[in-house]
Chains A and B, each alone.
Chain A
Amino acid sequence: MSTATIASQQDTPSLKARLLGTPSVGPLLVLVAFCIIFALTNPRFLATQNISIILQQTVIIGTLAIGQTLVILTAGIDLAVGAICVLGTIVAGKLVNLGYDPVFSMGFAILLCTGAGLAAGSLIAGLRLPPFIVTLGILGILTAALRLISEGGAFPVRDPFLAWTGNTMKVGGFVLTYGILIMLALYGFVWYLLNQTKWGRHVYAIGNNPEAARLVGIPVRRHLLSVYLLAGFIYGIAAWLALGRIPNADPNAMQTANLDSITAVVIGGTSLFGGRGGLIGTLIGALIVGVLRNGLTLAGIDPLWQDLVTGILVIIAVALDQMSRRRN
């Protein structure tokens, strides 16, 4: 390297570099563009009532996507998000219907979901098995086990505490459910962990370069375990939010939750290769999916088209990520 190039380095990166370095800018533009298109084509889209509906529809996938983001940041992938969440709804519902205290039932269900995360983490970090296979296996085991527990069918769960997350409050014309607030609080908490703490920085370092992380003295395996543990806990909270939306425990529910949560994360600009991205992007990604589905429904378009457009968005997002990696 010559002295001339060293001297010409600027202290502050260019605007373009900063935009490329802030992965949530692109998704935000996409979200705004969709909102403008839908608002122009249908005046009902921007009604406060409709915005509340979009948020409510985003709650479960939005919450699951928090855990998925953590896992993907470590260069893993979690195919058991939906199954672990359903585990939570079935166990909580079953216990309450058997007459157990609802707080205990929900708490126990969340604990079990955390345990499922811990099991996945132990296999991935302890035995160094690929996350894809481990979570696929857990998906299969849980799906079968849950159908056995619930004897095949869905059952209603009528308990005010379990349904509490679906209760609404009015904030300046907006109808918000407690579930929406819990989701946003979780986003805030995990954002803080990822961006302001040592724990979060190590998540990025491990996803970025696990060998370098090990060599600088980060206990990589223990850290991975904590990531899957926290993800499992978040899926458990999502189970509570799911019971608030639909008071029904269904072993066949959430079959698209895996793909939807991965979609939210990827559209939100988090790299499937790990170490890059963040939670703000994921929240925007989950909202993009919600807005798209809602807007197309309002426009009277066949739901199949929603999946098609979502699919195209995922591929574009991954292609953009790959291109920006090659640039370096």
Chain B
Amino acid sequence: MTKTKSDRPIHVFIPAYNEEENIGEVIKGLQQLQLSLKLYVIDDGSTDKTAEEASKAGATVIRHLVNLGGGAAIRTAFALALLNGADNVVTLDGDGQHDPKELQCIVEAAKNGGDLVVGSRFLREQELEMPFYRHIGIRFFSWLMSRLVAMRITDATSCYRAYKTAAIKRVFPKLRENQYYGLEVLMRMGESKAKIVEVPITSKSRNKGKSKKGIIKYAYNLLRTLVENGFHQS
């Protein structure tokens, strides 16, 4: 019997690199939801037990032999979503920064017409669990991004997102960025006239372990991504 669109599972992709301490909890959090989900972890060449922990928790693990970066992991995720004929795709971080309970409202927004739904930490009044300079940096890049895609974006770097596969199909061949993909995907989506929607999410810090992104390198690469992709867009 053919399943209807609403019956079909949501494909959830979690890119992870050396997240053995957090990945199990993230997967368990998702499994507790009353939703039909297919959970995939894209293990981006981890040197710890991320793949084992993810597999033990019940996710399907797709493993890069070497560390390529979050952008490459997302491209692998998109390729699999297209290959598996998914309708809706959700991506979230493997470090526990994203609350699995908020997946439902992100998916709802996608089902209500959003081609790309971005979970924004700045849409709701809340204590932001991030350093002040990071807050300012994200707001600055989001402002720049809003100018480029000609629509209001408040959290351009958030990776808690839902995508319609049809929208992924349009931008997939144009994605190049191996590391800082958040901005690139937004730009390509904006370019393809996709409907981008933001929904509020909770701001949390990672569960355990340290972030792998140094602030200067992070800011430089965000700027580089914007310039390179803005130039490509123009």
Partners in one complex: no
- B residues sitting closer than 8 Å to A (CB atoms) are none
